[in-house]
Amino acid sequence: MLTEKTTPDRLESAPAAVKPAVPVDDLICYFEGAYVPMRDAKVSIMTHAFMYGTAVFEGIRAYWNPEQHTLYGLKIREHVERIRQNAGMLLMDGLPSVDALVELILETVRKNGFAEDVYIRPSFYKSSRQIGVRLHHLEHELYIIALPFGNYIDTEAGVRVMSSSWRRNMDETIPARGKIVGGYVNMAFQKSEAELNGFDEALVMTADGHASEGSAANLFVVRDGVLLTPPVTDDILEGVTRKAILEIAANEGFPIEIRSIDRSELYIADEMFLVGTGVQVSPVIEIDHRAVGSGEVGPISRVIRERYFAAVRGRLPEYRHWLTPIGEGG
């Protein structure tokens, strides 16, 4: 649950965000072709993306390893490949190449000399100042921000979730796989409903009643030692972290089954956890006032969580292919 109030020097909606060494406005971002202080990165209220949500974005983490004095960007290339695909859904073309966009992200982080965990958000957005709902015949621009960032939710003892009354937006309405800014209003309804009812997170259902994912996190369930996760056709984000967890599970020898999950299965699951850039690996200990398994973090969840956090900080050689060293903190 949220544990801090937002202040001018803190990342909005980041409950355990690390206070930057300098004010957020002084951090360097990439904005419409130049590296500028955040205070100078401004758009008009007429900007199409502001009025209609016509933008796509990525959330990328970089993890600080104090022993190696190195910041490791996590699966940056995979995130870049996804945002380029998603921008295409919104009829954006002429985008930077994968290599060029990766370098813009790395340089944005380098210019801030971080020596702490960081959240990176690139976004392609419709920049035309025009009234009218459409995707075509509009210009687009790119921004990249990078800020110190801690835990999105407190996960040490496990999180409590509720089944949201709000359904996931279907692929034929606003595709969940697209990370489309306007579509996140759907998640906002879910997240606020859960928190205002005393829970940490929402669990969202598809239109036909199958478990989809969290408000902004993919879902994993353990039953009889088998790791279950919904297919991408159940209106989920094709999560980069989800793929990483599937890799860890396979390497640890855990059986995996990708299939639709009934709501009632959640109530009889042995373990459950959410994964994503924000929530990282968050074990679920309660759903809809029902304990998940023993009501404590389960053994499979614990192994995956421990392996994941060791991997992202560069402590497991077998997962070094996930990481891009960004350099020493200043």
Distance of alpha carbon 86 from alpha carbon 99, whole angstroms: 17
Respond yes or no: is residue 243 known to be catalytic: no
Distance of alpha carbon 316 from alpha carbon 318, whole angstroms: 6
8 Å CB contact between 272 and 220: yes
Question: Kind and range of the H or E element at 191?
Answer: helix 184-196
8 Å CB contact between 7 and 15: no
Among the options 111, 179, 191, 243, which is catalytic?
A: 179
- Strand ranges, E, within 135-279: 140-148, 159-163, 201-205, 211-214, 218-223, 226-229, 256-258, 271-276
Q: What is the DSSP letter of 315?
A: -
Q: Retrieve residue 66's tokens.
A: 């104090």
8 Å CB contact between 280 and 151: yes
Q: What is the separation, in whole angstroms, between the first and last Cα of the chain?
A: 32
**CB within 8 Å of 15: residues ≥ 6 apart:** 1, 2, 3, 4, 150, 151, 152, 153, 154
What does DSSP say about strands 55-57 and 60-65: parallel, antiparallel, or unpaired?
Answer: unpaired
What does DSSP say about strands 201-205 and 118-126: parallel, antiparallel, or unpaired?
Answer: unpaired
**CB within 8 Å of 234: residues ≥ 6 apart:** 206, 210, 211, 212, 260
Q: At what angle do helices 240-251 and 299-312 cross, to 10 degrees?
A: 110
Active site (catalytic) residues: 179
